A and B are shown apart, each in its own frame.
Chain A
Amino acid sequence: MEDKHIRTPILQTLRKSPFAKLQEHFKYVKTGTFALEEAVDHYLNKDYKTFKQYVEKIDKYEQKADWIKGNIRNHLPKFIFLPISKADFLSLLKELDGMLDSAKDVTVLMDMRNTEVPEDVKHEFHILIQKVMETVNAIGEVMDMFKIILETSFGGKIRQEIKKMIHEIHKLEHQSDVIEKKISKHLFNIKDIDPISVLHLLKIVERLGYIPDHAENASDKIRAMLAR
């Protein structure tokens, strides 16, 4: 070992940044939730074999993200001083992780019972997925800007841009809420469909709606960090 028997108090003062790890975690969240779009496409096309591959893929991403999440938590003991509230940081991590968790739940639910989506709901289903993906994209942009805002210690021009994006995320969340309700209503009004299918599809739609919910909460945590 090279670093044996030397005094390095300055090295001991500067700890490894949890923000770098947060970005690493988010990379998995992003790729995992983006994979959901194609997975649902295959599901709607009744290509359950390819869909199954996606289920496994997303599950792997979720496990990796979970591992990093645990790692970040373990390396944030009391004596580590962050430029933001540690509670905010950890809830941000939790909400981002929740996005991928929900995406995984959707695929798991779909995998349990391959309920056919009725033809006239398919279009709305596509729109909902689109909205969810837009939200993921938006939070991704915020996370990219997050790297720069650390440089200016949460100030400057970029602050306004992040706030604008957060506003956008809130709008997207609301829009997906509306579509979600529309689909639910539609499902209840289909005449010749078995109740289990309705229940199953409702649950899937509900879980899909969780993704923008988590994204919205995550963006609120970032706003709290900026406000301090």
Chain B
Amino acid sequence: MFFEFSFLLIFIIIIGFYMAWNIGANDLANSMASAVGAKAVTLHTAVILGGIMAFVGAVFVGSNVTETVKNGIVDPNAIKNSEFLLYGAIAALLGASFWITLATWKELPISTTHSIVGGMVGFGVVAGGVKVVNWFKLGSIALSWVISPILGAIIAYFIFKFILILILRRKKPLPAVKNIGPLLIALTALIVSSSIFFKTPAGNKLGFGIEYLILLTIIISVLSGVIGRIIIARYIHKFKSIKRKTEKEQYQIVEGIFKRLQLMTSCYIAFALGANDVANAVGPMATAFSVELTGSVGTEVEIPIYLLILGGIGIIIGMLTWGYKVIKTIGTKITELTNTRGFSIDFGAATSVLLASKAGMPVSTTHAVVGAVIGVGLARGLEAVDLRIIKKIVITWLVTVPIAALTTAGIFVVLCCVL
């Protein structure tokens, strides 16, 4: 019995790792696309920085969403046989992996997150009947899939309009960017640091009261703003020799500043992706582990930190191996994206994903990025946006859950017969 379970554990680690690899290879690479396309980061920087930031996001903020995928959709207490939970976790991971591999091969814009949720549903229905699945929870997750791209679009739209009105359309864009740029930096720092400190294991370990945590995030945010202002002022100072700058030169300097700011937002988006997407790989793994180690699954099981680290490493390796290629392809083909646009897209998408993540909603990072692109397009920021992608995403979105559910159900039945 011990040997058999150990074998199963190794097996689930391998598939979970493959899932994490997939997230790094496709989703992380896609979310870094706008930064590479706008030439804010080089290929190598994107790969290394993206990998590290996704890892940090996965390990420090990841546990929130992991809970939802693990316990929210399927009620583990309703399934009598705890072995079923183990098989189910394996089946869900296998089913989702299979569908993702197929979709990647067919170049469909599917979401890793949606597949794993579908897998969980499929397993739940077969193992414990329709009643086991928390349909209300599933409904709210599905709703978050619609809301997160729309929210990404709205945030990107307003942040871009903000940049337009307060910087680009000013008579003197350079003094304006000196004031507004640090504000954007401080805002990003505020969102990221509060997401790290509030309701996370890292925040709890600090042992501070909530009022100190608020103070801490404000200090971090103000400090980043001040440092940002110094860096921006220095950058502008470099162009002092050009006495009367033409419009074109002024915009080039502004874009140059946003190029540096995009370094920050591309870290932000990788961080948000890690926080949100690591659950896809780690959720089922955590279920399997707690069945294995404690014999049953309670509703309140802490996700072991080593699983989050494992997921983070998987994402890094995915980025290093295949994501490299994906970024290279995207980066060379997106040529018309300027840095102010790239910044707005990254900021909108990352904020939307991070907010959903904090609310415990597993959403698709890639879809949030697409939403943000459309948002900037609606703000008249992009020269040509292909709206067909919306249709494609909606279609794959509608089929992903049923297909992943059916595949998982099949695998689950086979597993139960064989083992």
Contact = CB atoms under 8 A, between A and B. Distances in A.
A11 B325 contact: no
A4 B104 CA distance: 9
Contacts of B380: 83-84, 153-154
Contacts of B105: 5
A7 B103 contact: yes
Interface stretch (B41-49, B58-66, B136-144, B163-171): B163-171
Contacts of B219: none
Contact of A18 (B322, B379, B384): B384
Nearest to B349: A10
Interface in B15-37: 26, 30-31, 33-34, 37
Given A6-B104, A7-B107, A148-B251, A15 B386 contact: yes
A20 B37 CA distance: 17
B-side interface mostly? helix
B383 interface: yes
Interface residues of B, number: 55
Interface stretch (A41-49, A74-82, A103-111, A132-140): A74-82
Interface in B165-182: 165, 168-171
B34 A10 contact: yes
Interface in A118-135: none
A-side interface mostly? loop
B383 A82 contact: yes
Given A18-B383, A148-B251, A153-B164, A13 B107 contact: no
Given A10-B366, A13-B389, A154-B380, 16 more contacts: A2-B328, A6-B107, A6-B329, A7-B108, A7-B110, A8-B33, A9-B30, A10-B330, A10-B373, A20-B383, A81-B378, A83-B380, A83-B381, A83-B383, A153-B168, A158-B247
22 contacts: A2-B328, A8-B326, A8-B329, A9-B370, A10-B33, A11-B330, A11-B333, A12-B386, A12-B389, A13-B373, A14-B334, A14-B386, A15-B386, A79-B388, A81-B374, A81-B386, A83-B382, A148-B248, A153-B379, A154-B380, A156-B171, A158-B247
